[in-house]
Amino acid sequence: MARIGVIGAGYVGLTTAACFARLGHTVVCADVDEVKVAALGRAEIGAHEPGLGELVAEGLRAGRLRFVLGNAEALSDVDFVFLCVPTPTGRDGAADLSAVHAVLREARGAVRSGCVLVIKSTVPAGTTVRVAELVGRSDVRVVSNPEFLREGHAVDDFLRPQRVVVGSEAEEAARRVVALYAGTGAPALVTGSASAELVKYASNCFLAMKLSYVNSLAELCERVGADIGDVTEGMRLDDRIGASFLEPGPGWGGSCFPKDTRALLSTAEEAHVDFPLLRATIGTNGHQAHRVVAMVRDAVGGSLGGARLGLLGLTFKAGTDDLRDSPALAVASLLAEEGARLTGYDPCVSADCGPVRVLDSAEAVAAGADGLVVLTEWPEFAELDWPNLAAAMTTPVIVDTRNLLPVEKVAEAGFHLVSLGRPTAPR
């Protein structure tokens, strides 16, 4: 088993450290946040990620996992160093690699001979080669190993991945990294570093394209009297298309899709490659929040000024407490700009979010509301007591941007229901 250092105890770094410890490796995970390091040492992960807290506790008990303040211990006397630091969007849309470069300056003189530096952070094509040049040591290899972790499913995605992608110009080092995942049984792709780096961007951007496509298709369905549910069901039966990412919604968000689409477009522009499909994907997503607001405006009678609206769901998707680039908050901001008064409920959010006053139940949000807006696909929202909610509201109107709710039950309770891409019954 290997000795592994992980730099960064954020979402990716923490999952990487805990899961490698589960696979039997000895892992030291470093972060610069003293409070976070202390909490992790007590197995307090501070994030909603099923199974991750248990894995951290298990690794600590077994002595295979440690958390340290500062990078020194995670860089020295280890066989592999995984860089799991943020690469946010810079001012020009490209990925900001300043955190990567900061670690490299420290690693250059700290890592032992024979160590493999593994870039798990999402970085543009060509970064691994440039990093190897910056490190400037022939006895240290640099490898790209992009992550494919879905929030809410990260542990399962790491321990039972669909694929492991490793890229390097030094194949022996790449094979050593592949061997770390031997316990997962996953198929591995070993390729050049630029190809590995592009796999991550290409995958996320393709999924974003599917979502933007189905949202435009839902708008078309509304105009021509078609049902997006039936249309996408017909599409799913074609195995060339696949079943996933064909649900309309208020737009895509989160920590990956917004920054990765912009970063890939920036890479294409830098390489003088026109990529209108990706540009349209981003533009379509920007339009979606405005489209949802227009639907809400129409549903409550044509004006949002002074309207009391209850929002169901605030996170960017169900199964996580992540509010980063949440389309629900983008919609909320636009509703507030038009004068709506907003309350909200989300199973994983307790603090107020911008213009949204967060309450502790869907029933509290419905009380006295002029309308409800479903913005996140939490399964429990489909099981609410609809007659009770309708009786509590000033006007029983629901705009379901996730097509999650049981149409017949909601209608029987007296609601006027508006869904994306579906015919709306007359009032």
First-to-last C-alpha distance (Å) of the chain: 66
Residue 150, annotated as binding a ligand: yes
Residue 347, annotated as binding a ligand: no
Residue 424 has pLDDT above 90, yes or no: no
Residue 151, annotated as binding a ligand: yes
Residue 61, annotated as binding a ligand: no
CATH superfamily for domain 3-191? NAD(P)-binding Rossmann-like Domain (3.40.50.720)
Residue 256 is among the residues annotated as catalytic for this protein? yes
Residue 368 has pLDDT above 80, yes or no: yes
Among 19, 115, 205, 256, the one annotated catalytic? 256
Q: 114: which residues sit within 8 A by CB, 6+ positions away? A: 79, 139, 140
- pLDDT tier at 91, thresholds 50, 70, 90: confident
Give CA–CA dist 427/73, Å, rounded. Answer: 66
Q: 85: which residues sit within 8 A by CB, 6+ positions away? A: 7, 8, 10, 13, 99, 100, 102, 103, 121
Residue 148, annotated as binding a ligand: yes
Residue 163, annotated as binding a ligand: no
Give CA–CA dist 124/196, Å, rounded. Answer: 10
Give the number of other CB atoms < 10 A from CB of residue 63.
Answer: 9
Residue 80, annotated as binding a ligand: no
Give CA–CA dist 70/56, Å, rounded. Answer: 19
Class of domain 194-426: alpha beta
Q: 258: which residues sit within 8 A by CB, 6+ positions away? A: 89, 252, 325
Check if the beta carbon of residue 117 is closer than 8 Å to that of residue 140: yes
Give the per-residue pLDDT at 311.
98
Give the per-residue pLDDT at 92.
83
In the chain, what are the helix, strand and coil shares in percent, each to the nearest 5? 45, 15, 40
Of the two residues 347 and 109, the one the predictor is more confident about is 347
Residue 157, annotated as binding a ligand: no
Least confident of 127-136, 279-288, 378-387: 127-136
Judging by beta carbons within 10 Å of its beta carbon (0-12, 13-18, 19+), is residue 408 exposed, middle or buried? exposed
Domains 3-191 and 194-426 share a fold: yes
Give the per-residue pLDDT at 47.
86
Residue 196 has pLDDT above 70, yes or no: yes
Residue 245, annotated as binding a ligand: yes
For the chain, helix (H) and strand (E) counts, in that order, are 16, 14
> pLDDT for 240-270, tens place per residue?
999 999 999 999 999 999 999 999 999 999 9
Question: Can you read off the two tokens belonging to residue 424?
Answer: 């709306």
Give CA–CA dist 269/263, Å, rounded. Answer: 10
Check if the beta carbon of residue 73 is closer than 8 Å to that of residue 65: no
**Sequence spans of domains, the chain:** 3-191, 194-426
> pLDDT for 14-73, tens place per residue?
999 999 999 999 999 999 999 999 999 999 998 899 999 999 999 999 999 999 999 999
For 311, the enclosing helix (H) or strand (E) is: strand 308-312
Q: At what angle do helices 52-62 and 11-22 cross, to 10 degrees?
A: 50
Give the per-residue pLDDT at 426.
66
